[in-house]
Amino acid sequence: MMRDLDRGFWPPSRAAFPAVNVWQGSEAVAVTGELPGIEPGDIEISAKDNVLTLSGERKLPEVPEGARWHRNERGYGKFSRAIRLPFTASDDKVEAKMTKGVLRIAISRPEAEKPKKIEIKAA
């Protein structure tokens, strides 16, 4: 009952921005993030230790003088999102591309951290 009561009095919190998907392969980790309306030059990407950080700013659109908002659901302003990686990464191992508002980042696994196949020798 208290949960239902709280739900009625408090507005729902906004989801983390940008929304991201992260998956890992044997050679790299891939991250995709949705950043509609943001220019690639307005986004900063950094990798330090095992954390990838995306930050930037989504600017408020210009509206004519005297205009009023009837609905304003999109968030604006500065953002920062830190994503923990399963291995230590460095900036020189990160590649980023942006297409149609979707940022795609590939972080290569350092050679020292790649799994090694161990050969079984016959006795």
Q: What is the pLDDT of residues 15-52, one digit of tens each?
A: 678 899 999 988 899 999 999 989 999 999 999 888 99
Tell me, what's the pLDDT at 31?
A: 96
| pLDDT exceeds 80 at position 97 | yes
Whether the pTM exceeds 0.95: the reply is no
CA distances 118 to 79, 87, 108, 115, 121, Å, are 44, 21, 22, 9, 9
Residue 18, preceding peptide bond in cis (omega within 30° of 0): yes
State the number of CA atoms in the 13 A half-sphere of 7 facing the CB: 4
| pLDDT exceeds 60 at position 10 | no
| pLDDT exceeds 60 at position 7 | no
Q: pLDDT digits over 104-114, tens only? A: 999 998 877 66
